[in-house]
């Protein structure tokens, strides 16, 4: 019996995408995440994930300028959960096709 690759939940995919943008020192707003996860996670799933992550205290938000100079809601990983999201990002997100991969997956290791 072959073991299926582990996949992150939609919530954690969104959290990893926010973390990835933070590493690049980029501001993160809703349409930014939608564009980055296009064809992988739907808008409604992203919206629901942001609500869930906020409820869990994994992300927080503040209002500030978006990439187009307009005001918008900007997301970031809370300091309390940053280490755990970093671990998930490095284990499952950084090497795979955004939602699968990592050092334990059956794919090329790009580290």
Residue ranges and CATH numbers for the domains of the chain are 10-93 (1.10.10.10)
How does DSSP classify residue 91?
Answer: I
**Average per-residue pLDDT for the chain:** 83
Q: Quick: pLDDT tens for 51-60.
A: 999 999 999 9
C-alpha torsion 109→8→90→27, nearest 10: 120
- Indicate the pTM of the whole model: 0.79
107: confidence class by pLDDT, cuts 50, 70, 90: very low
93: confidence class by pLDDT, cuts 50, 70, 90: confident
91: confidence class by pLDDT, cuts 50, 70, 90: confident
Q: Which residue has the higher pLDDT, 105 or 94?
A: 94
Average pLDDT over residues 12-31: 95
Sign of CA dihedral 100, 104, 110, 111: positive
Average pLDDT over residues 94-105: 47
Comparing CA positions, the residue from 20, 42, 29, 23 lying closest to residue 92 is 20
- Are 92 and 8 a contacting pair, CB within 8 Å? yes
Q: Which residue has the higher pLDDT, 109 or 50?
A: 50
pLDDT of residue 95: 62
């Amino acid at each position: 019996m072959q073991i299926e690759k582990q996949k992150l939940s939609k919530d954690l995919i969104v959290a990893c995408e926010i973390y990835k943008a933070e590493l690049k020192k980029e501001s993160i707003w809703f349409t930014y995440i939608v564009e980055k996860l296009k064809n992988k996670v739907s808008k409604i799933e992203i919206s629901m994930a942001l609500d869930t992550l906020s409820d869990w205290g994994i992300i927080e938000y503040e209002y500030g300028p978006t990439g187009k100079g307009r005001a918008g809601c900007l997301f970031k990983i809370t300091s309390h959960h940053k280490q755990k999201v970093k671990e998930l990002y490095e284990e499952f997100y950084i090497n795979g096709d955004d939602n699968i991969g990592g050092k334990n997956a059956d794919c090329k290791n790009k580290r």
